């Protein structure tokens, strides 16, 4: 097995005292194509945020390429969920892809010709070079998704996280994303993505992480992606876990009515 | 008779107002892009008690003590609003609203308490004293300029510098905070730095133009820029210009109508915004409505011409138009009248240009029907409807391609 890209140890994350991820232990090896799978509200996006370092765990730790998240200087490529983007923002396609080059540029330096050429190369890879001057809001959903994939390519990171890149995209985009993922795998990059379509997992991803508030199972797809494990992931909410979380919230907040979920 | 000859005094007023508007406009862009223009309002209002305390403690109108007081108040506003949101379960906008109105009121009360000792009154805080700017003059390199130009110009240069220096960092923070945090940018520092700049700008501009105008100049020009522009660079330029234009219109308008400059400026900027929303090329309401109208008219006219042409040739009309809604009947009557006025149709028969238009449309219709039947495999009784929908949209290029497609096949 390769050296681990991501190590997660005893990770618990809570929002307003209410745990949304319980005690996760998992290892994702370098160079793998890993799908995070689980029902709605299972904490998939939360796990991505924890890996990105944008939310702090209540307990436990995360390491990326053997460095603790937060202290790590490692670049992480990131494709956000489509709903979380402000599509009215005055940027065109090329601007967005150029954002991928910012962190390597450092302070006060503007992207120059080298960066623009590199960004165009990334756009070519997802078949969007013709639309470089379009404002991002004028694109179709699939095209928007591809722009962000191109941006994550432009970041040229060893680890790339994608939050539901396949959600609601057309067939052409799905194919384009697939090719990009295979190419990344060939280059030895690690890609972790939140995924919904259970049918495509077996022949495409070599790793899965089954999540439903707690880790159900994680590891190579062939071993882990079994009917039994899926049933444990999707087979009803773990009512006991839910109730425990609710009790924690109630006691800490002293309120009885249900608060905002996630 | 409007006399647009400005006196040197008016020029000086205009200069101060324009610099203040541009300074606020630059920051407004950043706030509007984060959908947080409200925060600009909150800080511009909320700094008041800090300002007054700084003023009272130092006993002078020096900028520095007021600036310190205002900065502390600004930080207090954002912390308090955040705390309320977190712990009182108040929605973010409401939390800000509560905090800044309370603090602003506190500031007014403080002014009234200390009114005997200090030369500061509520009216001047609200509306500023830009009209009196030329009274206090200072020397700059041999030129005599209004004293209040110094802080306003300072704020403008500071904001301009920050906008240029942190261009890509702020852009990333505004567009994708998650990536900004993940890519080692000091996200919190950058965002708080922006708020500190808002506080500094509020203080620097308040003496010149008053807090009402600071708020207007933060929110309105940047919104104009957002409506008109597709790139951040053009948005920054347009917003700054919109601020300056409001200042010019405000000063000139105030002199003509003998009212206050700040009020006139805020009204002008509002007018500019309405103008932008109505007239923005492409997205504006009026261009869009015009486009729609001329398109509807073109479709109606072409349909009438084609029908009458078919009738005059004694072929059965293949397009039976249902009477339709009253609005479409209105367009039909208007189109008929227009065709008659233009001389495209005489005695129910298309003539001249009208005849050419009818022939072109019928040609497009038959081309499309053939395409639909042969290439798309539509059943013969399903050809009319799609053909009618598409025929008006076929431009010359598409028509040629359709034609040549058939020709190359026949070759």
- Encode pLDDT of B107-158 as tens digits: 888 888 886 666 666 677 777 777 777 777 777 777 777 878 888 899 999 9
The answer to whether the Cβ–Cβ distance between A90 and B33 falls below 8 Å is: yes
B30-56 pLDDT, tens digit each: 999 988 888 888 888 888 888 888 888
Q: Are the Cβ atoms of B171 and A99 closer than 8 angstroms?
A: yes
Chain position carrying tokens 């862009």: B29
Among the partner residues A53, A84, A88, nearest to B182 by beta-carbon distance: A53
pLDDT band at residue B59 using 50, 70 and 90 as cut-offs: confident
pLDDT at B315: 65
Closest by Cβ to B176, choosing from A80, A92, A111: A80
Q: What is the mean pLDDT of residues A4-24?
A: 82
B178 with A88: Cβ contact below 8 A: no
A23-50 confidence digits (pLDDT tens): 888 888 888 899 898 888 788 888 888 8
Domain boundaries along the sequence of chain B: 8-280, 287-410
d(CA B280, CA B289): 12
Instruction: Say how far apart CA B370 and CA A90 lie, in whole Å.
Output: 43
What is the model's pLDDT at position B117?
63
A131: its two tokens: 């639309």
Mutation for testing the B interface, residue in A53, A70, A81, A89 having most B CBs under 10 Å: A89
pLDDT in tens, A140-167: 888 898 899 899 889 888 888 998 888 8
- Given a cut of 90, whether residue B225 has pLDDT beyond it is yes
Cβ contact A103–B234 (<8 Å)? no
Chains A & B: contacts with CB separation below 8 Å: 67
Statement: residue A260 has pLDDT above 60: no
- Rounded CA-CA distance B95/B103 in Å is 12
Residue B127 CB contacts under 8 Å (≥ 6 apart), including other chains: B210, B212, B213, B260, B262, B263
State the average pLDDT for chain A.
82
Q: A97-106, B291-300, B326-335: which has the minimum mean pLDDT?
A: B326-335
Q: Which pLDDT band, with edges at 50, 70 and 90, does A94 fall under?
A: very high
For residue B411, what pLDDT is reported?
Answer: 46
Mean pLDDT on B70-97:
80
Q: Which of the residue ranges A112-116, A227-231, B268-272, B317-321 would you say has the lowest mean pLDDT?
A: B317-321
Residue B119 pLDDT = 64
Which chain A residue is nearest to residue B229, measuring alpha carbons? A90
Residue A124 neighbours by CB under 8 Å, 6+ apart: none
For residue A188, is pLDDT > 50? Answer: yes
Cα separation, A200 vs A210, in Å, equals: 15
Q: Which carries the bigger pLDDT value, residue B324 or residue B96? A: B96
Q: Which residues of A touch B29 (CB under 8 A)?
A: none
Mean pLDDT in residue range B60-78: 81
What is the 8-class DSSP label of residue A3? P
ipTM entry: 0.81
pLDDT of residue B32: 93
- pLDDT-derived band of residue B239, with 50, 70 and 90 as boundaries? very high
To the nearest whole number, what is the mean pLDDT of chain B?
82
Q: What confidence score (pLDDT) does residue A241 get?
A: 64
Note the pTM of the prediction, 2 decimals.
0.80
Contact A111 B35 (CB under 8 A): no
Binding-site residues on chain B for chain A (CB distance < 8 A): 33, 35, 165, 167-169, 171-172, 174-176, 178-179, 181-185, 226, 229-232, 234-235
Query: Domain B287-410's class?
Result: mainly alpha
Residue B407 has pLDDT above 90, yes or no: no
| Chain A residues with at least one Cβ partner in B under 8 Å | 49, 52-54, 73, 75-76, 78, 80, 84-86, 88-92, 95-96, 99, 102-103, 105, 107-108, 110-111, 135, 155
pLDDT over 50 at B323, yes or no:
no
pLDDT at A252: 66
A20 band by pLDDT with thresholds 50, 70 and 90:
confident
What is the mean predicted confidence (pLDDT) over B231-252? Answer: 93
C-alpha distances in Å from residue B121, one per residue of B109, B112, B114, B127, B259: 10, 7, 9, 10, 19
CB–CB contact B181 A54 (8 Å)? yes
How far from B186 is each of A103, A157, A189, B194, B303, CA to CA, in Å? 11, 19, 26, 13, 62
B3 pLDDT more than 60: no
> What is the spatial distance between Cα A135 and Cα B135, in angstroms, rounded to a whole number?
48
Question: Does the distance separating the beta carbons of A86 and B175 come in below 8 Å?
Answer: yes
For position A239, what pLDDT does the model report?
57
Of B35, B168, B229, the CB nearest to A102: B168
Given this model, what pLDDT does residue A223 score? 80
The predicted-structure confidence for B337-394, as pLDDT tens digits, reads as follows 888 888 887 777 888 888 888 888 888 888 887 777 777 777 777 777 777 777 777 7
Confidence of residue A261 (pLDDT cuts 50, 70, 90): very low
Instruction: Report the share of chain A in percent with pLDDT over 90.
Output: 9
Residue of B172, B174, B178, B281 to mutate, testing the A interface (most A Cβ within 10 Å of its Cβ): B178
pLDDT of residue A262: 41
CATH architecture observed for domain B8-280: Orthogonal Bundle (1.10)
* pLDDT of residue A259 exceeding 50: no
Sign for the CA dihedral angle at B47, B53, B57, B58 comes to: positive
Query: Please, which residues have CB within 8 angstroms of residue B267's CB and are 6 or more apart in sequence?
Result: B250, B253
Closest partner CB to A103 (pick from B175, B183, B235): B183
Chain A residues close to B184, C-beta within 8 Å: 73, 75, 103
The per-residue pLDDT for B317 is: 55
Instruction: Calculate the CA B242 to chain-centre distance.
Output: 9
Residue A14 has pLDDT above 80, yes or no: yes
Q: Average of pLDDT values for B212-238?
A: 91
Q: Which helix (H) or strand (E) holds A216?
A: strand A214-220
Q: Measured between CA atoms, how close is B174 to chain A, in angstroms?
A: 9
The answer to whether the Cβ–Cβ distance between B167 and A110 falls below 8 Å is yes
- A-chain residues near B174 (CB < 8 A): 89
Chain B hits for A86, Cβ within 8 Å: 35, 175
Element (H, E) at B56: helix B48-58
Nearest residue on chain A to B187, judged by CA atoms? A54
């Amino acid at each position: 097995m390769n050296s681990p890209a991501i190590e997660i140890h005893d990770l618990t994350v809570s929002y307003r005292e209410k745990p949304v991820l319980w005690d996760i232990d998992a290892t994702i090896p370098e160079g793998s194509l890993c799908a995070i799978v689980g029902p709605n509200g299972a904490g998939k996006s939360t796990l991505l945020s924890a890996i990105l370092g944008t939310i702090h765990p209540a307990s436990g730790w995360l390491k990326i390429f053997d460095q603790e998240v937060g202290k790590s200087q490692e670049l992480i490529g990131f494709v956000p969920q489509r709903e979380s983007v402000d599509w009215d923002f005055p940027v065109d396609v090329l601007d967005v892809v150029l954002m991928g080059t910012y962190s390597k540029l450092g302070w006060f330096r503007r992207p120059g010709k080298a960066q623009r050429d590199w960004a165009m190369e990334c756009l070519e890879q997802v078949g969007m070079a013709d639309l470089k001057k379009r404002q991002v809001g004028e694109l179709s959903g699939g095209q928007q998704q591809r722009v962000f994939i191109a941006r994550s390519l432009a970041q040229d990171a060893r680890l790339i996280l994608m939050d539901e890149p396949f959600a609601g995209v057309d067939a052409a985009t799905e194919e384009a994303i697939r090719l990009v993922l295979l190419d990344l795998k060939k280059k030895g990059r690690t890609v972790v993505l939140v995924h919904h379509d259970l049918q495509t997992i077996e022949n495409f991803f070599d790793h899965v992480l089954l999540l439903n508030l707690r880790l159900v199972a994680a590891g190579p797809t062939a071993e882990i992606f079994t009917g039994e494990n899926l049933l444990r992931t999707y087979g009803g909410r773990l009512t006991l876990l839910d109730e425990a979380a609710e009790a924690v919230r109630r006691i800490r907040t002293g309120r009885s009515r249900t608060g905002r979920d996630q | 008779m409007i006399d647009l000859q400005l006196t040197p005094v008016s020029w000086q007023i205009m200069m101060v107002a324009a610099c203040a508007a541009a300074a606020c406009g630059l920051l407004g862009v950043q706030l509007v892009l984060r959908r947080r223009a409200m925060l600009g309002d909150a800080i511009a209002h909320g700094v008041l008690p800090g300002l007054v305390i700084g003023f009272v403690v130092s006993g002078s109108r020096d900028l520095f003590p007021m600036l310190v007081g205002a900065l502390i108040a600004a930080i207090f506003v954002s912390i308090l609003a955040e705390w309320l949101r977190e712990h009182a379960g108040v929605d973010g906008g409401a939390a800000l609203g509560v905090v800044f109105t309370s603090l602003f009121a506190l500031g007014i009360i403080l002014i009234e308490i200390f009114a005997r000792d200090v030369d500061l009154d509520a009216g001047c805080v609200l509306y500023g004293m830009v009209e009196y700017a030329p009274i206090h003059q200072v020397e700059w390199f041999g030129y005599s300029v209004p004293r209040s130009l110094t802080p306003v110009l300072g704020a403008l240069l500071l904001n301009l510098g920050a906008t240029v220096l942190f261009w890509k960092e702020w852009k990333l923070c505004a567009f994708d905070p998650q990536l900004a945090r993940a890519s080692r940018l000091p996200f919190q520092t950058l965002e708080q730095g922006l708020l500190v700049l808002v506080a500094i700008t509020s203080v620097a501009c308040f003496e010149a133009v008053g807090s009402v105008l600071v708020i207007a100049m933060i929110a309105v020009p940047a919104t104009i820029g957002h409506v008109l522009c597709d790139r951040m660079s053009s948005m920054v330029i347009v917003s700054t210009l919109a601020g300056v234009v409001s200042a010019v219109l405000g000063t000139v308008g105030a002199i003509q109508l003998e009212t206050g400059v700040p009020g006139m400026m805020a009204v002008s900027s509002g007018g500019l915004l309405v103008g932008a929303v109505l007239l923005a090329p492409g997205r504006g309401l009026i261009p869009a409505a015009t486009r729609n109208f001329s398109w509807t008219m073109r479709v109606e006219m072409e349909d009438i011409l084609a029908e009458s042409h078919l009738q005059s040739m004694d072929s059965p009309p293949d397009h039976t138009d249902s009477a339709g809604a009253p609005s479409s009947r209105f367009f039909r009557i208007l189109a008929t009248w227009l065709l008659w006025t233009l001389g495209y149709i005489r005695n129910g028969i298309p003539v001249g240009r009208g005849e050419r238009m009818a022939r072109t449309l019928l040609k497009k219709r038959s081309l499309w029907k053939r395409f639909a039947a042969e290439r798309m495999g539509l059943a013969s009784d399903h050809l009319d409807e799609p053909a009618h929908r598409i025929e008006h949209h076929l431009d010359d290029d598409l028509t040629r391609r359709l034609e040549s497609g058939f020709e190359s096949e026949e070759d």
